[in-house]
Structure 1
Amino acid sequence: MNSAEHLRPARPVRTPAAAPPRSYPSYIAGRDADAGNGDWVYTVSSRSLLEDVFASVALKRRLERDPGSAAAGHPYVVGRVAVTSPEDNERALRAAREAAPAWAAVPLEDRMRLGAAFRARLLRHEEEFLGLLTAEAHPRALARWELSCLLQTYSDETLAWCRQQMHTEIRHGGRRLIVRRQPDGVVCLNPPQNAPAPSAALAVLAVMAGNAVVVRAPRSIALSTLYVLRDLAVPLLEDMGAPPGTLSVVCGNPRSTMDRWLESPYVDDIFYIGGCTEGLSIERRCVAGGKKPVLELAGNDTVVVWADADLDWAAEAACEAFYGSGQICMVPNRVIAHPAVADDLTARIAEKARAVRPGYPEDDGVLLTPVRRSERFFALLDQALAGGARLVCGGARTELDGTRSATGVFLEPTVVRADGLERAARLDVVREETFFPLLPVVVPGPAGDDRLLDDMIRFVNGNAYGLRNSLWTRSRDIADTFVRRVTNGGLLKVNDSHIGFLPYLPSHGGTGLTGGVHGEANYPMLKTSHLQGVSVGAGVSPLRAVFGDRRG
């Protein structure tokens, strides 16, 4: 890529004018592709959208109609990504199929070094990464949280654990026994629109497993995905001498690209991150076509608060529901409060919720993002109130300065209270992922603690989704019972941040609607590979091996 096509910022991207616009063609078969038919998608800064949404959208559309327009130099233009042609999409798949065997033959120890190198490179370019996410409307505090996910995912501890799972050797009866995971082959990754760059960065893990990977950047928000893969990951693969096609990045039509992946004889796995309806449909088509589906879908996470909990910390964890205006699958979606502390807890949650304010994404402390289509929010709220729930706080649109307005692009953090587990379970706001800053506090009816614990655990395990669950209690017995009996979900936290990331533990993955039929905690290195057992004998009699050596 020549300097005229791709200009790196001289300083952190903190304001719209902080860097020249970036320009990315697709990256296919080890090189930057031609721009094809000249179609581009443009990113204009989120700040400009908040200041004048109509002018910003008009600017974006003008550029996409006429990329040569002088408007390309507008200070609010952050960058652009070329739209990949169907022919180039196909070329990316062919290149991946050609690269896969050679890359899989690279020793695991060499491939594992990618993880630490990627983490180090991400840290060196931290400000650029955060700046691009902020330009794409991620509040800076939220972008830092997303960065923390990648830093733990690629931590020394997590990678060492994954390395152990990928290859274990045992000496037994004159044999060297190996239990290892082999790469699936070609993996196609579809990141979500709400967090494309951090999700696309999981592609490096699939590459480390020995796969060739093709990533589709979402057309509506493609820039940060190209940056993370093209500028951070690709140079590491080039330094390793990885075969062309080991990692390709395209930006095509979502439906036609997915259809081609599903039909292609070159594709082994499809790693889809998105909504349940589309994801489960892709799962069915994958199975029918002999491909492995790796799904990261919706979540409807539960925070359980016991009578002896630290209520301030429990309320703080519950209010993680409002990160990104609730438009993140792994934030809390509902709270179950012990009746003895429900009033106090609800008041503390409401107090903290009222302190969550809108603002420009680069401003410190801002957590809320604009919500463009809020009709569903009000329908869910109205249904909850009609079904017996009580509005505790919030419930209105708001402007950038926090003023309530019928035309505001933000939603107030909203808390409702629903009494009775059975009645609450009939409310969509409790039963479904809402994807809004809308948090129900569910309070079971009075009962003894043994009965309450049984009912709460049954309620958690009955969740149709199954991403994350968490508990707040000072009781070792309550915590142990909860950990032992809660089977739903890919991650369980006790007395900890619901959304915080830790080494060793998975950052993604779950059961039910979250992960599909084969859902579980998701370590992408393991999910895009398969188990294989190996025996290497020395001086072993075949006859004795057939009938067994009783001496072991």
Structure 2
Amino acid sequence: MSAHRTTVAGVAVDTRHSIGGERVASAATFTDVSPVDGSVLGEIARGTATEARAAVAAAWAAFPDWAATPRAERARLLRAVADGVEKRLEELAVVETYDNGALLRSHRRGVMPRVAHNFRFFADRLLELDHADFDTRGHTNRVSWDPAGPCVLITPWNAPLLLATWKVAPALAAGDTVVLKPAEWSPLTASLLADIAAGAGLPAGVLNVVQGYGAEIGDVLTGHPDVRRISFTGSVPTARRVAASAAAHLTPVSLELGGKSPLLVFADADLDLAADLAVEQYDNAGQVCLAATRILVEETVAAEFTRRFTERAARLRQGDPRDAATDIGPVIHPRQLEKIDGFVRRALDDGARAVIGGHRSDSRRSDGHRSDGLRGGGLHYPPTLLTGVAQRSEIVQEEVFGPVLTLQTFTGEDEAVRLANDTRFGLAATVATGDPARARRVTARLVAGTVWVNCFYVRDLRAPFGGSRLSGVGREGGTWSFDFYCDLKNTVTGPKGWADHG
């Protein structure tokens, strides 16, 4: 690797910031390590207040021209970015797999195509954005969406490019300029996105990427007086700091935070489907904010559900995420592995029972052999299901963000809903039932931003997305994204007062 470039599986990645259309280095760097094999992927420019302010200044300078760019031209450029993503789809998939440990097959088949779709969708939505004029006593009301200004977008490490473009695409479509701050554990595809955007013809300063630690540059970005919108995805403690920083200038914020979502399995459900839905929660090694980590099963079918679940879980293959046969890859970082393991150990000490899993993959039996046959162990944590957990226990109430599920039973709808809603979070919920009337009754009572019935993780960009309670503030997606990234204006015109222009 050179001083400012690295190569990941044959793909060249610039390790500097992208500010105002130029690559900018920092005096210091941080080391990006792959969770796949522990290799050093690169030394990444470690942003300071200087680079953070420069990025905001570049976004501010580029804003007037970008805001004045006709909708059709903005849409054309967004589609060009989508084309660029599709041309480099394989490169993006490989780099992201090395950077965050998620399955390569998932990146190829679903994640990176969805990245391109994010840009195409909001390009199309921009051209459809309209509100019919309406009358008030002979006066005409016209609603418009005006670009708000520079936006700071802070994104997480579990789905780096997908969740970044979920914010970047609507912000750019809205006519805003962007400063993107990717997570320090997975910064590489954000750098590639900057190259793709430049290659697509996006004007300099419209999309800026600043890398570094949130503790060092976060407050500079979120507290900057020239920032007009902040969108953050991450933890509740960090969100509190973001909100406090933004409050100084009353900067609007959108916060997508953690979850402790339930999966409710009723006795009338298709138990094979319910077991499949439950096993699906181990996707991305459980590092999914939407994951239904609390399995709530009607008591009369709990034993049968558990049997079907464990049969399916036993077929999951844990290993190298580059291998197409792997179902569960590593977690992203040693600190994350320690966090997950700590949650499980404390739960077991508190009386929980591990039906499957319950130990680190690198633990050893008394005979000295590895507990699961994984070569090297690495950052793998096995799929785990815990029973015998108390409702107020840490493992039930706090987000683990790993392949760890709990199972509790209930005896009726009222108890099911009470248990489902009994957390500080409200991001999502999943319901398995064979009774449409029950589905309507239960979903109406659940506190969640998204509820799936007999399915999971079906996401349409036309729908609002966000959480209730500590799972977030605001909704994005479809027109809701434009409502956030724009200043909405209502212009009222009287019936008289026009000059006669013949």
Query: In structure 2, what is the Cα distance between the partners aligned to 1:378 and 1:492?
Result: 29
Residue 384 (structure 1) shift:
3.4
Task: Indicate conservation of the 8 Å contact 1:334/1:441, yes or no.
Answer: yes
Query: Following the alignment from structure 2 to structure 1, what is the Cα–Cα distance between the partners of residues 4 and 343?
Result: 46
Q: Which of these residues, 486, 489, 492, is aligned with residue 451 of structure 2?
A: 492
- How far apart, CA to CA, are the structure 2 residues paired with 1:481 and 1:151? 37
Amino acid in structure 1 at the alignment position of 2:189: S
Q: 2:429 aligns with which of 461, 464, 469?
A: 469
Cα deviation for residue 163 of structure 1 reads 5.4
Q: Tell me, in whole angstroms, the C-alpha distance in 1 between the residues paired with 2:448 and 2:286.
A: 19
2:358 touches 2:382 (CA, 8 Å); kept in 1? yes
- Are 1:417 and 2:387 an aligned pair? yes
More displaced, 315-324 or 81-90? 81-90
Shift of 1:457: 2.1
Query: Cα gap change, 1:163/1:526 in structure 2, threshold over 3 Å: closer, same or farther?
Result: farther
Alignment correspondent of 1:332 = 292
* 1:442 aligned onto 2:399: no
- 2:309 is aligned to 349
> Match of 2:96?
133
Structure 2 equivalent of residue 377 of structure 1: 340
Distance 2:301 2:64 in 1: 59
Query: Does the alignment pair 1:290 with 2:250?
Result: yes
Matches within 5 A, 1:68-79: 77=41
Given the two structures, how large is their TM-score scaled by the length of structure 1?
0.78
Matched, 1:178 2:142: yes
Letter in 1 for 2:355: V
Judged with a 3 Å threshold, the aligned counterparts in structure 2 of structure 1 residues 20 and 298 are, in CA distance, closer, same or farther, namely closer
TM-score (norm 2): 0.86
Does the CA-based 8 Å contact 1:396-1:405 persist in structure 2? no
Take 2:261 and 2:114, find their aligned partners in 1: how far apart are those partners?
Answer: 18
Give the CA deviation at 1:439: 0.4
Identity rate of aligned residues, in percent?
27
| Gap change, CA 1:44 and 1:429, over 3 Å in 2 | closer
The equivalent residue for 2:37 is 48
- Which residues of structure 1 form unaligned runs of 5+? 10-15, 50-55, 61-76, 447-451, 542-552
Alignment of structure 1 residues 61-460 onto 2, 5 Å: 77=41, 81-136=44-99, 137-143=101-107, 144-147=109-112, 149-150=114-115, 153-154=118-119, 156=121, 160=124, 164=128, 166-172=129-135, 176-201=140-165, 202-228=167-193, 230-238=194-202, 242=203, 244-371=204-331, 372-373=334-335, 374-385=337-348, 387-399=350-362, 402-403=372-373, 409-418=379-388, 424-444=390-410, 446=411, 452-460=412-420
C-alpha separation between the residues in 1 aligned to 2:248 and 2:95?
Answer: 39
Show the counterpart of 2:366.
Answer: none
**Partner amino acid, structure 2, of 1:26:** H
Counterpart position of 1:504: 462
Question: Once the 2 structures are TM-superposed, how far is the Cα of residue 188 of structure 1 from its aligned partner?
Answer: 0.7
Q: Is the 1:489–1:520 contact (alpha carbons within 8 Å) kept by the matching residues of 2?
A: no
RMSD: 3.1
What residue identity is the alignment partner of 1:527? Answer: F
Cα deviations by residue, 1:226-282 (Å, 9 ceiling, x for unpaired): 112x122233343xxx4x322111113322211212332211222222111111232
CA shift at 1:96, angstroms? 1.4
Alignment deviations for residues 477-534 of structure 1 (CA, whole Å, 9 cap, x no partner): 0111123332x2221111112x24334234x42111111xx33455544322232212
